[in-house]
Amino acid sequence: MKQSVDEFLELVKKRNGHEPEFLQAVEEVAETVIPYIVKHDIYYGKNILLRMVEPERLISFRVCWVDDDGEIQVNRGYRIQMNSAIGPYKGGLRFHPSVNASILKFLAFEQVFKNSLTTLPMGGGKGGSDFDPKGKSDNEIMRFCHAFMSELFRHIGPNTDIPAGDIGVGAREIGFLFGMYKKLNNEFTGVLTGKGMSWGGSLIRPEATGYGTVYFAQKMLETKNDDFEGKKVVVSGSGNVAQYAAEKVLQLGGTVLTLSDSGGYIYDSEGIDEEKLKFVMHLKNEKRGRISEYLDKYPNAEYQEGKTPWGVKCDVALPCATQNELDKDDAETLLKNGCVCVSEGANMPSTKGAIAAFHKAKILFAPGKASNAGGVATSGLEMTQNSLRYKWTREEVDNKLKDIMSDIHKSCLEYGKDEDGYVDYVRGANIAGFVKVADAMLAQGIV
Ligand SMILES: NC(=O)C1=CN([C@@H]2O[C@H](COP(=O)(O)OP(=O)(O)OC[C@H]3O[C@@H](n4cnc5c(N)ncnc54)[C@H](OP(=O)(O)O)[C@@H]3O)[C@@H](O)[C@H]2O)C=CC1
Ligand SMILES: O=C(O)CCC(=O)C(=O)O
């Protein structure tokens, strides 16, 4: 069947009308990929995109666990196995009260294109639970993770589906999940990535998403003979991605002005230097506190409750918190304040209206599926090291990460350059990601 973008989206809406985030992600891809399909006979009329928007498998399961007060709690767990044309399913697990099928399907769909862009053989998947880790004790986290894995284990494996972290799932959770998988399978295997360094983890994996986001921005700035030296940078979030994006900006000579969490943002006009960032890492990763507590240590900073940081004047913006955290008005404020480059560390943090504003102003804008792909790429490198029973040095992994980000940038240029020389990184990433997966699907027949 041959379809226009509108006809295609109508069909997808009919089946998924109650899933706004998923529809948003599909629409962005369809608008750029369908015009490409129409011009290329090998893809035309084969319903490839329609096959790609339907998960190969969607698993939903009950997770029962007992809290510290002895109460029985019930959560919902999911794993979306979206596409395995180019490799085993790969993608993170999110633990957050907002988690539902729409959010995980958008993340799994994005993951298919992102993993394809990394140049590594990984299909796309995503999973998680509506469990809220905030305020839970370590023992509660452990009991939940063990209960979650006691069902998930039968659906995953090192050659089938390899989960990792995402919002609310970091080193602590990966440890508990791995422990239960190992016990149930009686097998020590690289079934999860983001593991601890002494039990199969890769150096640089914790840093990789944030570093990669900045490496990608560096590549974009290079196209304008520019770099991070002296740049004022606004970062949102204060979790894994935000922390290491901030660290890399500092190493490259930029100034980080903000960090945030779901409570609000802090603005430090003197810059968040290495020492201050160490404090934030301790506050967030060990103490599990709120970003507002930054002011207890650095009272010269400002805290804006309930607000996002996009009103702070900057040259570069790195949204590293969550989906749809930067809307059209925020984009217009950033542009008015002279922002020249936006590199997404989070998945789909910019709304459709925000992206349109960036494109209209022809600034450098990188969608998450390209700019935050360093995390999953380094997970791919962790899988390779596990298979080889070997460990690369920090420098070796970092160099591979830089090369991968540079290759992704090249792919975006190949498919995203407009006639006037402007690079539409959204179109570039979508088409480059699509072509590899579509070719594999065509080669494998209708399955
Ligand atoms: N970890 C990884 O390797 C990768 C992550 N990503 C994406 O990066 C983003 C951040 O992930 P990560 O750093 O790992 O997660 P973390 O859980 O480590 O940190 C998430 C951060 O985002 C904030 N946040 C979460 N939800 C909201 C919200 N609704 N509104 C405002 N702030 C919010 C959190 O604040 P609070 O603590 O208050 O909730 C926290 O500061 C996500 O979009 C994720 O999908 C993409 C590629 C790889
Ligand atoms: O490292 C991984 O497998 C997961 C990364 C991830 O979830 C993402 O890229 O959004």
195 is catalytic: no
Q: What angle do CA 96, 98, 104 make, to 5 degrees?
A: 85
Distance (Å, whole) CA 410 – CA 138: 43
What distance in angstroms lies between residue 321's CA and the mean position of ligand 1's atoms?
4
Candidate of 261, 293, 330 to mutate for ligand 1, largest count of ligand atoms within 8 Å of Cβ: 261
Residue 360 CA, distance from chain mean position: 25
The torsion of the CA quartet 250, 255, 260, 265, rounded to 10 degrees, works out to 160
Distance (Å, whole) CA 3 – CA 50: 10
**From 126, 195, 231, 232, the catalytic residue:** 126
Asked whether 312 and 267 are in contact (CB, 8 A), the reply is yes
Distance (Å, whole) CA 216 – CA 203: 20
3-state secondary structure of 435: helix
The reported pLDDT for the residue numbered 1 is 52
Q: Residue 137: count other Cβ atoms within 10 Å of its Cβ.
A: 10
Please name the residue whose Cα sits nearest to atom 26 of ligand 1.
Answer: 322
Q: Hey, what are 186's tokens?
A: 């009686």
Please give the number of the atom of ligand 2 that sits closest to the Cα of 375: 1
Q: Is the beta carbon of 213 within 6 A of some atom in ligand 1?
A: no
Asked whether 311 and 280 are in contact (CB, 8 A), the reply is no
**C-alpha closest to that of 366 among 394, 392, 347, 388:** 347
Q: Is the beta carbon of 201 within 6 A of some atom in ligand 1?
A: no
Distance (Å, whole) CA 385 – CA 201: 9
Please give the number of the atom of ligand 1 that sits closest to the Cα of 261: 35
Please name the residue whose Cα sits nearest to atom 42 of ligand 1.
Answer: 346
Candidate of 167, 287, 303, 369 to mutate for ligand 1, largest count of ligand atoms within 8 Å of Cβ: 167
What distance in angstroms lies between residue 341's CA and the mean position of ligand 2's atoms?
23
Residue 206 CA, distance from chain mean position: 13
Please name the residue whose Cα sits nearest to atom 10 of ligand 1.
Answer: 321
DSSP 154: G
What lies within 8 Å, CB to CB, of 85 at 6+ separation is 123, 437, 440, 441, 444
Q: Which ligand is nearest to the CA of 241?
A: 1
Q: Residue 198: count other Cβ atoms within 10 Å of its Cβ.
A: 6
Instruction: Dump the DSSP string for 382-399.
Output: HHHHHHHT----HHHHHH
Q: Hey, what are 296's tokens?
A: 């207890």
Residues with CB under 6 A from ligand 2: 90-92, 111, 114, 164, 166, 193, 347, 375-376, 379
Asked whether 392 and 202 are in contact (CB, 8 A), the reply is yes
3-state secondary structure of 423: strand
3-state secondary structure of 186: coil
Distance (Å, whole) CA 383 – CA 362: 38
Q: Is the beta carbon of 236 within 6 A of some atom in ligand 1?
A: no
Asked whether 242 and 235 are in contact (CB, 8 A), the reply is yes
- Residues of the chain scoring pLDDT < 70: 1-2
Exposure letters 30-39 (e unless 16+ CB within 10 A, then b): bbbbbebbee
What distance in angstroms lies between residue 407's CA and the mean position of ligand 1's atoms?
25
The reported pLDDT for the residue numbered 50 is 97
Strand partners, 365: 342
The reported pLDDT for the residue numbered 2 is 53
Q: What is the ipTM of this complex?
A: 0.99
Q: Residue 141: count other Cβ atoms within 10 Å of its Cβ.
A: 20
Q: Is the beta carbon of 291 within 6 A of some atom in ligand 1?
A: no
Q: Hey, what are 302's tokens?
A: 């400002």
Instruction: Dump the DSSP string for 10-38.
Output: HHHHHHHTT-HHHHHHHHHHHHHHHHHHH
The per-residue pLDDT for range 279-337, each reduced to its tens digit, is 999 999 999 999 999 999 999 999 999 999 999 999 999 999 999 999 999 999 999 99
Strand partners, 59: 79
Instruction: Dump the DSSP string for 58-99.
Output: EEEEEEEEE-TTS-EEEEEEEEEEEE-SSSSEEEEEEE-TT-
Q: Is the beta carbon of 239 within 6 A of some atom in ligand 1?
A: yes
Q: Hey, what are 290's tokens?
A: 């709120």
Asked whether 257 and 234 are in contact (CB, 8 A), the reply is yes
Candidate of 117, 177, 216, 376 to mutate for ligand 2, largest count of ligand atoms within 8 Å of Cβ: 376
